[in-house]
Amino acid sequence: MAPQQGPEGLAGEGSPSGTQEQRLMFRHGLRVTEACAMRLDQVDLDSRILHVERLKGGLSTTQPLRAEELRMLKSWLQERSRWLRQWDRGKSRSGSLPLDRQALFLSTRGAALSRKTFWALLRRYGEAAGLSLPPHPHMLRHACGFALADQGADTRLIQDYLGHRNIQHTVRYTATNAQRFEKLWR
């Protein structure tokens, strides 16, 4: 996966939510644990915002949702509701864990999607897409940082967006972008 690529090349099934998790991880620079821990109350479709709860001492932020993300989330939430209704009516699910009604992303067992499941899904999607390098979830976070830098975003803005407390963790994204010097001396 090229640094500026998101999960667009990944396709597949395996979780009820498909690749929505990967798209949100890329677009919002989420860590896998942050994506798996997302709750329904972190998504406000009416206000078009996502409340990102950062881990590892990061700064939590409120970020806008774009039209394509809104469509994707609305579609997933409808599918998620269908799954919950089926499970409530007694349709069997693969596992005996209690349903997690607040988790945004559910596994086929009705529990919050786990890091292990997410990693396996991403690896399978990468194989199906013919990627030469097996993807890992943190690649999506890095791809977000590089994509923002490639679009000309300021280092401080990228720092805030990714929830970095220390700018040294952000500099890697802008330091490799030669285009940032193009407008100098004009």
**Which listed residue (138, 156, 165, 172) is catalytic?**
138
Task: Tell me, yes or no, if 91 is annotated catalytic.
Answer: no
pLDDT for residue 92: 66
**Does residue 174 register a pLDDT over 70?**
yes
**Which listed residue (23, 27, 80, 173) is catalytic?**
173
Q: Using one digit for the tens of pLDDT, what is the confidence trace for 131-173?
A: 888 888 899 999 999 999 988 898 999 999 999 999 988 888 8
pLDDT for residue 83: 85
As to burial, measured by CB atoms within 10 angstroms (0-12 exposed, 13-18 middle, 19+ buried), residue 113 is buried
* CA angle (117 as vertex; 114, 118 as ends), nearest 5: 85
Average pLDDT over residues 63-73: 95
pLDDT for residue 4: 41
Average pLDDT over residues 73-78: 93
Share above pLDDT 70 across residues of the chain, in percent, rounded to a whole number? 85
pLDDT for residue 96: 62
Task: Tell me, yes or no, if 56 is annotated catalytic.
Answer: yes
Average pLDDT over residues 70-75: 94
As a whole number of angstroms, the distance between CA 13 and CA 20 comes to 11
Coil/strand/helix, residue 77: helix
Average pLDDT over residues 46-60: 93
pLDDT for residue 84: 87
Mean pLDDT of the chain: 84
**Does residue 2 register a pLDDT over 70?**
no
**Which listed residue (28, 31, 80, 109) is catalytic?**
31
**Please, what is the end-to-end C-alpha distance for the chain in angstroms?**
34
Domains identified in the chain and CATH numbers: 7-179 (1.10.443.10)
Q: What is the pTM of this model?
A: 0.80
**Does residue 38 register a pLDDT over 90?**
yes
Average pLDDT over residues 42-60: 94
**Does residue 61 register a pLDDT over 70?**
yes
**Which listed residue (56, 66, 74, 116) is catalytic?**
56
Task: Tell me, yes or no, if 116 is annotated catalytic.
Answer: no
Task: Tell me, yes or no, if 31 is annotated catalytic.
Answer: yes
pLDDT for residue 41: 97
What are the backbone dihedrals phi and psi of residue 17, each rounded to the nearest 5 degrees, phi first?
A: -90, 0
CA dihedral 5, 42, 82, 119 (to 10 degrees): 40
As a whole number of angstroms, the distance between CA 70 and CA 66 comes to 6
Work out the pLDDT band at 3, boundaries 50, 70, 90.
very low
